[in-house]
Amino acid sequence: MGESAWVTPFKKQCFVSAGVCLNLGNHGLVMGFAAILLPQLRKPDSLIPIDDSSGSWIASILGFALVVGNFIAPTVMAKYGRKTANLVSITPLIIGWICVLTASSVNLLLIARFLQGVSMGMSATLGPVLIGEYTSPKNRGAFLTAISLTMATGVLTVHTLGSYLSWQRTALICCLVAFVDLLIVIYSPESPSWLAGQGRYEESRRIFRWLRGYDEEEELKEIIEASIVVNESKVEANINRSITKNFIANVAYFSTTITKKNFTSLYLL
């Protein structure tokens, strides 16, 4: 009784949305990090000396990697689930920050920034989908706005930290933020819409009601019914495809058989 009275559906939606927003907030940390990293690397006593060319690559490689992440995300979240895709998007981010912390060359910094860019591309595609599937329609606009807010806050935070700390310590704090985000995502449930699409209807109902309560049963009913129709269509399509493949295979086998030399010889006899 105490849990149901205090842990409301709105608070649960805030929890799962925090994992999404923190992931996208890391965009701001990653983008703003270059502004504090490059000036410190250009100092005479820098651990990793850079020139204009290497500095430009460190700042711009995110754009190339972001496109890669955009292509990876849809496949992962459709096949393995939204939660798994979110976890996969955070992993290269954390590895990237660890590479930054241990970097002793420009090449390692480029690898780190590329990994972070892949993470950005994945989470940019995944974030709005998760917010849309996790949250109630009445709260959805506020949670989507929170995405932009956390990204702007990330840029402000990393610039502020970089004004007082070295780039290594700033990277450590950013890595800790990503790790906290990882923990939130681990304890977040899978999307009920994706579960329904996989035919796991009871699990979908349970998680939907955990997230939304029992006041949105009409939307749950629509999700389940739409998923049943789609899944049945997929089964029929697979059956038809299998029949077609078998027919083509049999025709090919028949054609191959009657053209064999031993078959022709037998017919002539």
What are 135-185's pLDDT values in tens digits? 999 888 899 999 889 999 999 999 999 999 999 999 999 999 999 999 999
pLDDT at res. 148: 87
SS3 per residue for 186-222? HCCCCCHHHHHHCCCHHHHHHHHHHHHCCCCHHHHHH
Full-model pTM: 0.82
Q: CA nearest 14: which of 141, 122, 134?
A: 134
Q: Is the pLDDT of residue 233 over 90?
A: no
pLDDT at res. 237: 60
Q: Is the pLDDT of residue 251 over 70?
A: no
pLDDT at res. 18: 93
pLDDT at res. 153: 93
Average predicted confidence (pLDDT) for the chain: 84
pLDDT at res. 269: 43
Q: What is the DSSP string of 103-117?
A: --SHHHHHHHHHHHH
pLDDT at res. 1: 38
